[in-house]
Amino acid sequence: LAIVHIVDDDASFRTSTARLLKVCGYEVVTYESAEQLLERLPDDRIASCILLDVRIPGLSGPELQDRLAELGSALPIVFLTGHGDVPTSVRAIKAGAEDFLTKPVPKDALIDAIERAVARSQVKREKSDQLNALRGFVSSLTPREHQVFERVAQGKMNKQIAHELGTTERTIKAHRQKVMEKLRIESVTELVLIAERLGILAAPARK
């Protein structure tokens, strides 16, 4: 199960929430303020989420949300508030909050929200992991291979590519073979897909 980071200045709520989540099998870390959390920024790659009180002294909930975004942390945030007002909740959701709950929160609703947040972030993280892998494959290409990869993705013929790069068709074929190997693909279709996901296609073609 995931790790839950609770940020709340209210000791009694913080303790009781921590106790509940522990009983439900979560690992729990508590913080009295947003600053405390920032000091020991948790690893966002582990399945986890933040339970954040909107009204805390010092850095407020929404402000912490902004700071985490700046720091590139992908930790999902579930907001808790004693008194939910519409503007604050809208702003929080827009800024990427996973959920916005009003105290007192029934256990099931709380766990649902945590689970949803963790799951969603998990999916997001998997996707980004794939991309990162692809990026790694792409970065292993030599500059010549990269040029060939780009042009293949653009749907150009070997002959045409050879002409553009001022080499023979056979050389191009060899490079193309190398690219397929490095990207661990077997068809040109897969190659085009990768180029698209990494946004290589969107970039204006360099001649």
Partner 1 sequence: MLLFGSEPGGRTAMFFWRTALPFRCLFQWAVVLALTAGLLLGLTTCSQAAGEPKRVVILHSFGFGFKPWSEYARAIREELDRQARWRLDIMDQLLASARVSGDNPEGPFINYLEQLYAADPLDLIITIGAPAARFVQRHRHTVFSGTPVLMGAVNQRRIQIAGMTENDTVVAVNNDHLVAFESMLRVLPATKKVMVVIGNSPSEKILREALERELKPLEGRIELEWTDNLSFEELLKSAAALPPHSAVYWFNLSVDAAGVGHEGDKALTRFHAVANAPIFSYDDSYFGRELLGGPMQSVAEGGRRIASVAVRILGGEKAGDIKTPASDFSTPKYNWLELQRWGISENRLPPGSQILFRSPTAWEQYRWQILATAAVLLLQATMITGLLYERRRRRYAETEARQRMSELAHVNRHATAGELSASIAHELNQPLGAILNNVETGAIILNSPSPDLNEIKTIFDEIKRDDQRATEVIRRLRRLLSKTASDAQDIDLNDTVGEVFDLLSAQAAERNIILSSKLAPGILRVSGDRIQLQQVILNLVVNGMDSVVGTANGRREVISSTLLSDGSARITIADSGAGVPSDKLKKVFEPFFTTKGDGMGMGLSIARTIVEAHGGRIWAENQTSGGAVFHVDLPLAKST
CA distance 129 to 108: 31
81 phi and psi, to 5 degrees?
A: -145, 150
Residue 95 belongs to what H/E stretch?
Answer: none
CB 104 within 8 A of CB 112: no
Q: 1, 15, 45, 205: which one contacts partner 1 (CB under 8 A)?
A: 15
* Interaction between residue 104 and partner 1 (CB under 8 A): yes
* Interaction between residue 12 and partner 1 (CB under 8 A): yes
Closest CA to 34 of 53, 47, 21: 53
* Interaction between residue 1 and partner 1 (CB under 8 A): no
- The span of 32-40, 101-109, 172-180, 199-207 binding partner 1 (CB under 8 A) equals 101-109
CA distance 93 to 84: 13
Q: 81, 89, 147, 158: which one contacts partner 1 (CB under 8 A)?
A: 81
* Interaction between residue 91 and partner 1 (CB under 8 A): no
CB 62 within 8 A of CB 87: no
Q: 1, 41, 57, 157: which one contacts partner 1 (CB under 8 A)?
A: 57
What residue ranges bind partner 1 (CB under 8 A)?
9-10, 12-13, 15-17, 19-20, 23-24, 55-57, 60, 80-83, 85, 102-107
